[in-house]
Amino acid sequence: MSVESLPLDAARIRQDFPILSQTIHDNQPLAFLDSAASTQRPQQVIDAVSHAYQNDYANVHRGIHLLSERATALYEEARERVREFIGAGAASEVIFTAGTTASINLVARSWGDGNVSQDDEILLTLMEHHSNIVPWQQLAERTGCKVRFAPIHDDGRLDMNGFAEMLNDRTRLVGVASTSNVLGTVNPIAEIAALAHGVGAKVLVDAAQSVPHTTTNVQDWDVDFVAFSGHKMLGPSGIGVLYGKLDLLEAMPPFLGGGSMIHQVTVDGFEPGDLPARFEAGTPPIVGAIGMTAAINYLQDIGLESIHQHERELTEYAHEVLEAEGGVRILGPSVEHKGGIVSFVVDGVHAHDVASIVDRHGVAIRAGHHCAMPLHKRLEVTASNRASFYCYSTRSDVEQLGRAIHEVKRKFRR
């Protein structure tokens, strides 16, 4: 049996996360079910960040003193670890950014401004996060292009026939989430990419909800851009990744100007640097990258396939627990078509009231539109609750959520 297929011991893993040992609200154990928004950090990541600040910190790529050389080596080691983690062909295809949102904006500004014009089209899906909608709407304001939205089925899966019908010779880019941050829907990225490339369109994948949870190979996907964040995969906040195919990145102009992204500057102009430096202006997220290395090491020690299977089991259990309560509408597809996310609506109770009450019972879940207003309009709900799982989540967490939802219903019946 390979390491990747070993059962996951979530109870032992929880011991690596100091924040999860606390009790809240009258000694309630903390059931943290908001990992789709941001994950917690294991002690190994906390220690790596602390060690870097205490021993190895200096600015990178600039100094010839020992600390700068150490920091530079660790920073570039992080880039190589990310390259391996996502199956990229070259380290120069890995750009460090401030997060998924920054990565998508980089593409919209640099690639979009240079390759999209009036009457062109950007094709998204109705399940996209605002971070994969608004940058393209801003591009439309600048260029006159049109942003279109592929439909979804009532069960929350992408309507692939409708998507294919909307592709045409004016489609310049397809932007799609690999996993919906609300519904948990897992989209067929390789199939989407093949269809998009068939009409000459590029493909950008918002992989914030998939890279941390299952094995990713960007070359197998054959997509042009992939964006994801460190804080959703046990790493520090303030760091993200943009993967881009080498030929595309080499043809794109810098988005931000300043130090580090130049080859030379004169009073008459500047010459941009080589990849990846041209897209990493200023002081980059040095310690964030070091922390990301520790997070990747931690995830790979557990095994991504073990994490994926663990989350699938918890998702199935959560469906059972919530459905047994009655009066709870679960949004999105059946378990076999989704990741470790369960969004739901309690009949007659606003999502914010639900979240407030379950919080008093020690359960942290999300409430609102989850930065996906068009999707909620399609679902005909103003807001929903979302429970999301990770390697440290347990069946006890799900049971605690079930008891809390029971209390919500009891209070509102009363």
- Which sequence positions are flagged as catalytic? 371
Q: Which amino acid is at 269?
A: G
Q: Is 126 exposed, middle or buried (0-12, 13-18, 19+ CB in 10 A)?
A: buried
Q: Which residues contact 249 (CB under 8 A, 6 or more apart)?
A: 92, 93, 95, 275, 276, 279
Three-state secondary structure readout of 70-102:
HHHHHHHHHHHHHHHHHCCCCHHHEEEECCHHH
What does the alpha-carbon distance between residue 253 and residue 329 come to, in Å, rounded to a whole number?
Answer: 47
Cα 263 to Cα 401: distance, rounded to the nearest angstrom: 55
Contact predicate 24/30, CB 8 Å = yes
The widest CA-to-CA distance across the chain, in whole angstroms, is 74
The DSSP secondary-structure symbol of 12 reads H
- Residue 356 has φ and ψ, to the nearest 5°, of -65, -40
Length of the chain: 414
Residue 167 contacts by C-beta under 8 Å, 6 or more apart in sequence? Answer: 123, 174, 195, 196, 198, 199, 201
Name the token pair of 108.
């919209």
Q: Coil, strand or helix: which one is 335?
A: helix
- Residue pair 127/177 in contact (Cβ under 8 Å)? The answer is yes
Cβ(366)–Cβ(409) below 8 Å: no
At position 343, the amino acid (one-letter code) is: S
- CA distance from start to end of the chain: 53
> Is-contact 178 189, C-beta < 8 A?
yes
For residue 222, the tally of other CB atoms under 10 A from its CB is: 15
